[in-house]
Chains A and B, each alone.
Chain A
Amino acid sequence: MRYLIRKAVILILTMFLISLMTFLAFHIIPGDPAQLILGTSASAEKLELLRHQLGTDLPLWQQYTSWIFGFFRGDFGTSIRYSMPVKTLLGDRIVVTALLGLMVIVLTLVVSIPLGVYAASRRNTAAEQVVNFLTMIGISIPGFFLSIIFMWVFGLVLHLFTPGSYVSYQQDFGAFLRFMIFPALAIAVPEIAILTKYIRTAMLDEMDKDYVRTARGKGASHRTILYGHILRNAIVAVIPLIGMMIGSIFSGSIIVEQVFGVPGIGRLLISSVTGRDFPLTQTLVMYIALIIVITNFIVDILIQVIDPRIRLSN
């Protein structure tokens, strides 16, 4: 219990630090949202008026405190750029990005578990080498390059989908899925490669352990040992990876949403930074950080529930 409380305090502290850092960062970098909205032909009076309306003419501490008090009341403010409540803006986007993330996770698990098991069970064969080679390539391709290649090959050459013709999930869920499969794949490839590699390694580690030899000695079938014992333990060993994966899926979705024209959280984050839309950026940063931090929190607990042998101390 003390462990939980300590973790929770650290979590809150980290979040506070992040909000402060985002705020300061935003005011160190140049850029005036009013000027961005009005462009180069704006008059000085008009700029002054808009700054006043946006509240960007207030002292820094006042801007921060009003934001943070609002945040605790569940009021995330109004987007400077889109002149609508941040909450409204986020609503739909979160669903889009969550669906994208879910597709990535499903793709990753469906491909990498069998692949990892296969590679481990064919230890020291050509097949293992091929899988190793593929995972190595998968880990090494930058997301932006992969996205461009997907657009070119699947979109323009093979016509498997139409780049730029995103369909809202509310409008036509089938068409949404058909379009999203390619962005999802672009994010999933490195994740698949990493997970496959870890599962393979974890399984190889398990195979050398005493209990496997014992089970084998008792005459258990190869299949029972592989799936009944080794895989289960290997998956436990891979759980700590999940926290990192959620983070990397999030950041992967930022670029992929941009390239494929998917209106999700990631694309919103970029336009909020380039538009110096502070309330929106701050909320997005907090939101993304919160998900990553909480996921790690849950993973920590999960590990202990599954495997109480791991010491709580550190």
Chain B
Amino acid sequence: MSPFIQQRLKHIIMYQYDQYDQNLVDERVEQYRDQTERYLAGDISDEEFLPLRLQNGLYIQRLAPMLRIAVPYGLMSSRQVRMIAQISRTFDKGYVHFTTRQNIQLNWPVVEEVPDILAELAKVEMHAIQTSGNCIRNTTTDELAGVALDEIEDPRPWCEIIRQWSTLHPEFAFLPRKFKIAVCGSEEDRAAFLLHDIGIQLIKNAQGEAGFRIYVGGGLGRTPVIASSIREFLPKEHLLTYLDAILRVYNRYGNRDNKYKARIKILVRAWTPAVFAERVDAEWQHLKDGPATLTGQEIERVKRFFSLPDYQLVDAETVEADVQVLAADNKGFSRWLDRNVSAQKQPGYAAVTLSLKPAGVAPGDVTDVQLEVIADLADRFSFGEIRTTHNQNIVLADVAKTELFSLWQQVKTAGLATPNIGTINDMICCPGGDYCSLANAKSIPVAEAIQRKFDDLDYVYDLGDITLNISGCMNACGHHHVGHIGILGVDKKGEEWYQIQLGGSAGKDAALGNVLGRSLSRDAVVDSIEIILDVYVENRLLEESFLSTYQRIGQAKFKERVYATVT
């Protein structure tokens, strides 16, 4: 091994609050404590309390309230994760759920105790602000931000700039409907940014300057739509004034009569993207170069919080060879390397995905003890940094490859090493009818039945990359429209049935799935998935993926076989 040079860089892994940021979340806790007290005293009606509690993440669910905690762009420190573990023990049942918006949900908090939970969160620079309600929600991004091989620019500073702009924005707290923003900084899309109300893509123009391409009107739900570009290149300093212009046009002209027609996508479609772009541009002309225009100083200030860790320069080839020697002797390790470990742009380092999808556990659920193990592992292996993913897993980035074997052994003990990332068993799944009052059908038992059916790892690996997404109703929290295979729970005369869709995709080639045919019972759904996979295996060419095979041979072949067999 060649000698390595220690770089002595002061490494800050994430944005750190100063007195202004801290004061704001502290005051938010007190504001909400007062609101809760007035509500419990009968001074605020249920109707009035609804948006107040929602904008602090509190839903009233089927069985109990649910509190959604913000994880801005999916980034957490080990200290924060330990606090979440402690909160889940003190105020809940000792487990939490990771969501498709990279946030965390507590399933069993008590309304009276929520202000205390928020106060605990504020101690570690966390909150639940705008995690629900008709306002600007948590901005999401790529879980490999800062380390992705194909990265154009680290999206996290931009997410933080947007977080601050959107937090308690005075004008946009009562929008027609919820509003979601995602930022993509890489060639490949790991943030599903084309399925957001605003999708922001970091790009370079012909002069090599970085800026943004702005998309609007994407989204899932009842009317799934892929976003349209409304500005090909927006120079960086104009980001916030342009966002203000989009939001103002939406706030003024979005539909407020029918909640199912209230998302920005409906307005964009009604006006056409070109007209919408003109309206935004006309508004922006008044705001452009105004006081909210970003300064180079501010951009640099925020960027400094996302400095690179203290990487050691290593002989990457030697390190890789050592890892392969270990893998050759150990099939479990080898599988984990294949599925759960991603390369990153810093030689000698890798990003490790901890699977929150072992069979028998609701996808995305983690216990308090596991959270503490994750925090310890992050301290030892990934500079104390933890990332949540929109696929409901956890990533530890910046792991030295020399430590991979050791990390694998410990992750395995914690039950987080199931080597199924990107496979059919790594499904996205909403909480469904077990928890959610909106759901038409349960989704967790479907996920579990599928995982039990496909428990042969060799078969699962042979299938390769497949996304299978399950939603318990058409609100599409489980992103069923964009799964290669999507399952949607529907209500038929009070009974739970399921519709299958094929051919969706959430990447830059975003596509919406096509409904296979009439809906099926829960048992028949699982059998149908097996048939669909059989059709794929029989028809694929060489290494062809499920999605490519589907696109080549079409829906009919799958449909015929499923409905010829399943009743």
Partners in one complex: no
Interface residues of chain B, those whose CB is within 8 Å of chain A, are none
